[in-house]
Structure 1
Amino acid sequence: MIMAKDTPSMAKNKIKRCLWAIYDQHPKKSEVDSLWTYFESKCAYCGVEIERSSRTGHVDHLIPSAEGGSNSIHNHVLACARCNGDEKREEDWLTFLSKKSGKSSIFEQRRSNIEEWLSLMPPNGTNTALKSEVEKVVDKALKDFDSAVAQVRSLINVNDRG
């Protein structure tokens, strides 16, 4: 099996995600348990039953982090591997759900169930000043990383010339 090489851009992305995860923590096990219970071990999109021990159940962001979504458990749904891994991709959840279930009573039932789950999310108490400071720290860490990469490359180039 060939594994992907770690490139500077991959490392930079990992650094960014790791630092943000300190600020916006991933759901705890007890929260994931409540998600499985709420969705009755069924995919929120297609309704297929998911055996938890099979590891084919995904905890899927409704609003991706890249689009401003949080890691709150209530910004996640239970999704089967097929819906989350093979079909949904970059599509927003409501568009995907509409395509998956059609404009029918099944769509309305699943949409309502997901929206009810979303409504349980605590009000956005985001401290914008704190978030802004975290953004500055993350930006600085990424710039420092870029500088370190440039320094290493420079050292290699100087060494190759000598």
Structure 2
Amino acid sequence: MAKDTPSMAKNKIKRSLGAICDPHPSKAEEKELWEYFDSQCAYCGVSIERDSRTGHLDHLVPISEGGTNSIFNHVLSCAKCNGDEKREEEWESFLKSKSVSLDVYEQRKNRISQWLQRAPKGVNEPDIVAVRASIINKALADFDGAVARMRELRDRCT
């Protein structure tokens, strides 16, 4: 097993702090999502067998772009759409490319939009996301300072 490095510890700090107010979906929330989307891919509509492990919880707005881990920032996606096709594409343009007609696109978009609207107030609000990021960034800066001081101490001892 690899030893923890400062960069690994920093990543753990970031994930741990983030999970305090932005936890990953619970099993009950995942079940709610599967039921809401009728065990079908939100993008292409293919049926997904829950036990097959081919269903994915896809972030609509990626964490790297300010999205959250809230269940309401996820949709049910088949492995092909989430893993092979969508990649970094914005969900609405990807949905449009997967829809066989404008009517199908509008139906699927409305369903996803209604899901997004079920999020509790504040979960995906930019102000909340920004404050959370600010707290985490300060903690990481403090950690970087502590690492630098420990390295200075180490150098004095050797």
TM-score of the superposed pair, with normalisation by structure 1 = 0.76
Deviation of the 1:140 alpha carbon:
3.3
Counterparts in 2 of 1:142 and 1:61: CA distance versus 1, 3 Å? same
- Partner of residue 123, structure 1: 121
- Partner of residue 64, structure 1: 62
Deviation of the 1:14 alpha carbon:
3.6
Deviation track 1:19-69 (CA, whole Å, cap 9, x = no partner) reads 111121222211110100011111101111111112221111112223222
Contact 2:46–2:78 under 8 Å retained in 1 = yes
- Partner of residue 107, structure 2: 109
- Partner of residue 30, structure 1: 28
Matched AA of 2:34: W
Deviation track 1:107-126 (CA, whole Å, cap 9, x = no partner) reads 22211211121122223378
Counterparts in 2 of 1:6 and 1:45: CA distance versus 1, 3 Å? farther
Where do 5+ consecutive residues of structure 1 fail to align?
Answer: none
Counterparts in 2 of 1:100 and 1:23: CA distance versus 1, 3 Å? same
Matched AA of 2:104: I
Residue correspondences, number: 158
- Partner of residue 20, structure 1: 18
Aligned residue runs from structure 1 range 91-110, under 5 A: 91-110=89-108
Deviation track 1:81-105 (CA, whole Å, cap 9, x = no partner) reads 1111121111111011111225532
Which of 85, 88, 92 matches 1:90?
88
Contact 2:66–2:129 under 8 Å retained in 1 = no
For residues 135 and 152 of structure 2, what CA distance do their matches in structure 1 show? 25
Which of 27, 47, 51 matches 1:53?
51
Counterparts in 2 of 1:130 and 1:74: CA distance versus 1, 3 Å? closer
Where do 5+ consecutive residues of structure 2 fail to align?
Answer: none
Deviation of the 1:76 alpha carbon:
1.0
Matched AA of 1:83: C
RMSD (CA atoms): 3.2
Tell me the secondary structure at the aligned position of residue 76 of structure 2.
Answer: strand
Which of 138, 141, 146 matches 1:140?
138
Contact 2:39–2:76 under 8 Å retained in 1 = yes
- Partner of residue 79, structure 1: 77
For residues 96 and 126 of structure 1, what CA distance do their matches in structure 2 show? 21
